[in-house]
Amino acid sequence: YQQTGEGSHAVLLLPGMLGSGQTDFGPQLQSMNKQLFTVVAWDPRGYGKSIPPSRDFPPDFFERDAKDAVDLMQALKFKKFSLLGWSDGGITALIAAARYPNLIHKLVVWGANASVTQEDVRIYNGIRDVSKWSEKVKKPLEELYGHKYFAETCEAWVDGISRFAENSDGNICQQLLPDIKCPTFIIHGEKDPLVPQAHAEYIHKHIKGSRLLLMPEGKHNLHLRFAKDFNREVENFLR
């Protein structure tokens, strides 16, 4: 994990598939207010520098990541903390907020989904072959993992997440959303090619009192592409 800032409000950044603090959250680690916040970015097991073990995707991998994330923050002696979860990290954050309500102060998720549809499976299969990824996205991950681990883990992720489509309603964590009691902010890029907007709307509808912000030009990586706007919105919500 990486840690920065000395503010009284602890915040955990949860990365996406194959993600790590360094690859997924540069502008947040660099620019979030260090007087107000203590920012921790973690590498989930099998990702980033948390290798070994190799990454695998058993049916409960999101639940496992949620427990690991909370265990880390408790080991670092944070009594209460907020969660900022992107993509898969958003799913992990939803589960953690539902399962550990006494520990979570506020929740921000973007590019996340609580279920997997057949349309989603089609989208995931479109990114299965990493040789078809853009050089810009691929390069830092190949440097971090080496080509073989990167390619094999991406394929294993597609298989692992697609399995949820076999559940009734493609459920990942839909039944947990009403258990989320902390203030919740959902952000969605209207041009996100990986996560259809209906997912953000579903999460918003089922978390009482949550707020939804749509970013018209945002894609999946809106927190990197529009880092200044994103950081401002999130800091205002967390204050």
Distance CA 161, CA 166 (A): 10
What amino acid positions are annotated as catalytic residues? 87, 192, 220
pLDDT at 140: 93
| Phi, psi for residue 106 in degrees, rounded to 5 | -140, 160
Mean pLDDT, consecutive 10-residue stretches, the chain (239 aa), reads 98 97 96 98 98 98 98 98 98 98 98 98 98 94 97 98 97 98 98 98 98 98 98 98
126-147: string of b/e by CB count within 10 Å (b at 16+)? ebeebeebeeeebeebbebbee
> What's residue 102's pLDDT?
98
**pLDDT at 142 (0 to 100):** 96
Residue 59: the pLDDT is 97
**pTM of this prediction exceeds 0.75:** yes
Q: What is the pLDDT of residue 62?
A: 98
- Please give the distance of CA 174 from its chain centroid, rounded to a whole number: 16
